[in-house]
């Protein structure tokens, strides 16, 4: 059990852990991110630490996604934006649109949070939403 009262077993608690697990094939990237987000939302006192360490490099897409997540969560929860997000994950040369449907591109282009858009990642405004956000919220919901 951690200091905030929630037990997570072996879930990644930092973005660096997500990168390590995905990079070594220990865990699927999508699953690791979702588990990280649950840990992040349910442990408000550990949020700064969860974003602090620079993740290892994986590939252009995953590096961009990790940097976008780190920047977006920091801004949303009024934390210091980790310095590593400025130069980590800037290697995408083609835009990525979540969902893969042509009909969604305009919506994703409009909704995508700035931290994602500036890295050519176009996701829904609630891409990082998890049910755990409400359960662990000591403060108001994050800003979009």
Residue 137 banded pLDDT, cuts 50, 70, 90: low
Domain residue limits, the chain: 15-94+130-135
Report in angstroms the alpha-carbon separations of 121 from 11, 77, 117, 133: 25, 21, 5, 22
Distance CA 37, CA 134 (A): 12
Per-residue pLDDT for 15 more than 60? yes
- What per-residue confidence (pLDDT) applies to 2? 43
User: Closest Cα partner for 66 from 53, 85, 87?
Assistant: 85
Instruction: Calculate mean pLDDT across residues 111-118.
Output: 96
Query: pLDDT tens digits for 60-85?
Result: 999 999 999 999 999 999 999 999 99
- pTM, rounded to two decimals: 0.86
Helices 29-42 and 15-24, interaxial angle, to 10°?
Answer: 160
Distance CA 47, CA 141 (A): 14
Q: Helix, strand, or coil here: 112?
A: coil
Q: What is the mean pLDDT of the chain?
A: 88
């Amino acid at each position: 059990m951690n200091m905030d009262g929630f037990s997570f077993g072996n879930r990644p608690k930092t973005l660096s852990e997500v990168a390590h697990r995905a990079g070594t094939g220990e865990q699927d990237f999508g699953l690791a991110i979702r588990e990280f987000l649950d840990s992040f939302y349910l442990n408000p006192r550990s949020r700064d630490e969860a974003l602090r360490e620079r993740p290892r490099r994986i590939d252009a897409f995953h590096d961009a996604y990790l940097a976008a997540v780190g920047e977006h969560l920091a801004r949303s929860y009024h934390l210091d934006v980790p310095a590593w997000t400025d130069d980590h994950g800037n290697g995408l040369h083609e835009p990525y649109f979540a969902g893969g449907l042509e009909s969604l591109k305009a919506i994703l282009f409009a909704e995508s949070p700035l931290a994602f858009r500036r890295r050519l990642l176009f996701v829904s405004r609630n891409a990082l939403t998890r049910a755990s956000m409400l359960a662990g919220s000591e403060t108001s919901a994050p800003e979009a």
